[in-house]
Amino acid sequence: MDKTQNYVTDSLEQHLFFARIMKEHALFLKAGFMPPACEFSQRSGQLMQKFEALLSRTVSLADCAVRCKVLSSGETVTEFTDCAERKTACLTGIDIDRGITARTMKLKGYGGGFNVTPALKNSVRQLNREALQALDCLIAFKEEVLKNVSSCTMFTPNYPLLIEHILREARLYRSHLLRLEGMGTSGCQELRDSELFWNRIMMEHALFIRGLLDPAENELVDTANGFAKDYKRLLEASRNANDKMIQSAGSFELTKKFRDFKTAGVEGIEACKIRSVILPLLADHVLREANHYIRLMEA
């Protein structure tokens, strides 16, 4: 595949994963704002709509222009996503365009390459630039919310650590787009840091799941806590090692086990068999991030 094809494919794959993640971040924030923060609720809704529109346009461009392994990895959508969106919309009263998910599920990957027309390249370049602008707005919004929560001038059921967590993911998305547009750098350091980044994300997922489960769910709480400890040990080992190479066997095996735990969690939450304050879409959201990390380690 030539440079132009790589640019188009990499860009669209980034958006298929991250634009959905960002619109859901905005949804989770919106769902947590109290009446005194009605302005923030409106702003988060507007940001959600921005990323929903970006994702919709991405899906329109992505058919036969992205890799089959990305579409089959479970990082763009899972078998649970549509149900999770439907249930979350009913529980929160927040509209979700489920048609985007239906269209994503019908996408086909390319076989032996594809033809990049000037129109497609220009559309992708415009998409990247609009995504960067939207990300700047979303990052600033998250920073403002974090500042308010940290200074005790705003209440939200979203943990401060969760807000920091979703800020890091937005900044990572932004760094990928800057690299694609020739405004950022990449290399061995990026590969070495990837494992540290995603292991930290996984550890925090385990901490959030532990904290959002009903205290009566003793076994699940203990399991989530065990995953948090395992990822903490991996992080400490990586930081103490001179060679922080991606595709650590320990990270790969642990994340596959964590993925299975998250899968069971989505099933249980959607079927109302697990007591928690976890929205169905949040459960599916963290599952997709585990699938994304596994696919990166398999690359």
Contact indicator for 202, 248 with CB cutoff of 8 Å: no
Domain-located, residue 37: yes
Residues 97 and 217 occupy one common structural domain: no
Residues 8 and 145 occupy one common structural domain: yes
Residues above pLDDT 70, as percent of the chain: 94
With bands split at pLDDT 50, 70 and 90, how would you rate the model's confidence at 244?
very low
With bands split at pLDDT 50, 70 and 90, how would you rate the model's confidence at 191?
low
First and final C-alpha spacing in the chain: 16
Contact indicator for 275, 213 with CB cutoff of 8 Å: yes
pLDDT in tens, 33-45: 999 999 999 999 9
Residues 280 and 142 occupy one common structural domain: no
Q: Look at residue 245 and tell me whether its pLDDT is greater than 80.
A: no
Residues 96 and 239 occupy one common structural domain: no
Domain-located, residue 171: no
For residue 190, what pLDDT is reported? 59
Q: Greater confidence, 248 or 165?
A: 165
Residues 219 and 264 occupy one common structural domain: yes
For residue 188, what pLDDT is reported? 46
- Two tokens, residue 265: 């969690």
Domain-located, residue 168: no
Residues 132 and 201 occupy one common structural domain: no
Q: Look at residue 30 and tell me whether its pLDDT is greater than 60.
A: yes
Residues 152 and 88 occupy one common structural domain: yes
Domain-located, residue 177: no
Domain total of the chain = 2
Q: Look at residue 124 and tell me whether its pLDDT is greater than 70.
A: yes
Structural domain containing residue 208: 187-299
Residues 90 and 223 occupy one common structural domain: no
Residues 81 and 2 occupy one common structural domain: yes
pLDDT in tens, 63-122: 999 999 999 999 999 999 999 999 999 999 999 999 999 999 999 999 877 889 999 999
Residues 95 and 46 occupy one common structural domain: yes
Residues 1 and 112 occupy one common structural domain: yes
pLDDT in tens, 49-66: 999 999 999 999 999 999
For residue 1, what pLDDT is reported? 67
Specify the pTM: 0.95
Contact indicator for 114, 5 with CB cutoff of 8 Å: yes
CATH code for the domain in which residue 216 is found: 1.20.1260.120
